[in-house]
Structure formats: C-alpha cells, structure tokens
Amino acid sequence: MGLKPGWYVLGAVLLYALAMTLAWSAERRQVAALQAEVAKARDSARRGPEGLMLPLVGACLPKDPDNLPGAPRPYRRGVNQGFVFTDGASCVPVVYGTGVVAAGGGEVVRLERDYQEPTPAEFEALLKAVEGGATPAQLDRLRGREIWIRHPDGSTTVYAHLSEVAPGLEVGSKVTKGQFIGKVGNSGTSAGVRGSRAGARLLFELWTGTPGESRFFGQGVERREILLNQAKQRFGLP
C-alpha cells in the first residue's frame, strides 16, 4: 500500500524542524564561543596580552610601605608613582648592575642611553624647585636614566634610576616579556650625583597611558592590603 501525499508533507516538515533545531543549537554554541572569546579579549586588554611580570626576576613586591605607589614624598609635595625595589626588601638582591627585564611585550618609546647626571649644584637647585610640587619634566630628571615601554593595550611601563641600557636597544625596538633591557643603578639620586654606587634601586611604574598624562597603577588606592592584592593579580604573583 503506497504512502499518501500527506505523509510526505509531514515527513518534510519534521525533517525541516530537525534541521532548524540542529542549526539553532550550533548557532547557540557559536555565540557562546564568541562570548567567551570577547571576555578573554577584555581580560587581555585589562592585564596586557600576555600578562605582566615584575621587572626583577624572582622579586616580590616591596616590603617597605614607603616604596609602594601612593606613598608620600614630602620633599616635593607629591606621592610615589610606582614600586621602588631596594636590596633586602624585594626577595632578590637589588644591587648596582642587577639585570632588569621588560614586564611585558611591547615597543620602546623612550630610552636614555646618553643620560648625564646633573652637577651637585644643579641637583640642589632641582630639589629646591620641586618643594612646592614637581612638574612631569622635573619628575623625569628625578627618575634618572629611564626606559619606557608601550604595551599593546596602551599602557606604559617605566624603568628608572638605571645604570645602563641593554646593548642594541633603541627607541622603536620591540621587546618581549622577560627580555633583558638594562641594569639597576642610582641615577637621578643624590648618591648618583656624587658618583657613588650606594643606594641602588629600581623605580618601576605602570601607567594606563602616557606617564604624567594618565593614571598610575595604585593611584587613589588608600588601603595597603587592597593595593597589594591588586598588584598580585596584575603581575601574576601568588
């Protein structure tokens, strides 16, 4: 006995419904996957495409509260804008000549290989000039020899008080996370001005954009515990 035409129509409708259901399910999976990728991209933009590390291999966050972002700097009526790594308070040796690495991949946008220390008289005049507050240009002088690296998310890391810049590194150079970029020093400090190697340190700043024109990491965070927790997340620390 042959099938009636109505059965063919019903079968076609059922097949169509099944196909649409499968297509809808596949579309939902694609949308979910796309949403996951978007979330991942947003997180990457927040943390940087490959995350960031501290600029001294094996270091921990500075243990002295005065060396954290936001710590008062009365001599210039301002605050510290980064992390200051010093020997005995950073979990690794921080001595003159210690290697400094890039906190993340990016492009070198500023580099001071030919930095010259001010004379003692010039340094004293600078300290006198910043007593009421320092301009970005004056802060640059106080940072000593610097390297700035712009990261793909638009943020900038600053490495200051350096003694040397890595050979071959120039403005426009592309660097990778963990790449050697320079050495710890004390440039821009009273010891550096005197020609001494005492007081070696590394000032490390993270800015949302251009230093001095955007916000630095930790700006406005008053509680030390919150700042440290945010820093551990930002730099992938336990």
In this prediction, residue 48 carries a pLDDT of: 40
Average pLDDT over residues 70-95: 97
In this prediction, residue 54 carries a pLDDT of: 98
Average pLDDT over residues 74-80: 96
Mean pLDDT, the chain, integer: 88
Q: How confident is the model at residue 11 (pLDDT cuts 50, 70, 90)?
A: low
Bridge partners of 78, per DSSP, are 73
Residue 162, C-beta contacts closer than 8 angstroms, at least 6 positions apart: 100, 144, 145, 146, 147, 182, 183, 184, 185, 187, 202
Average pLDDT over residues 188-213: 97
Q: How confident is the model at residue 45 (pLDDT cuts 50, 70, 90)?
A: very low
Helix, strand or coil, per DSSP, at residue 152: coil
Residue 34, C-beta contacts closer than 8 angstroms, at least 6 positions apart: none
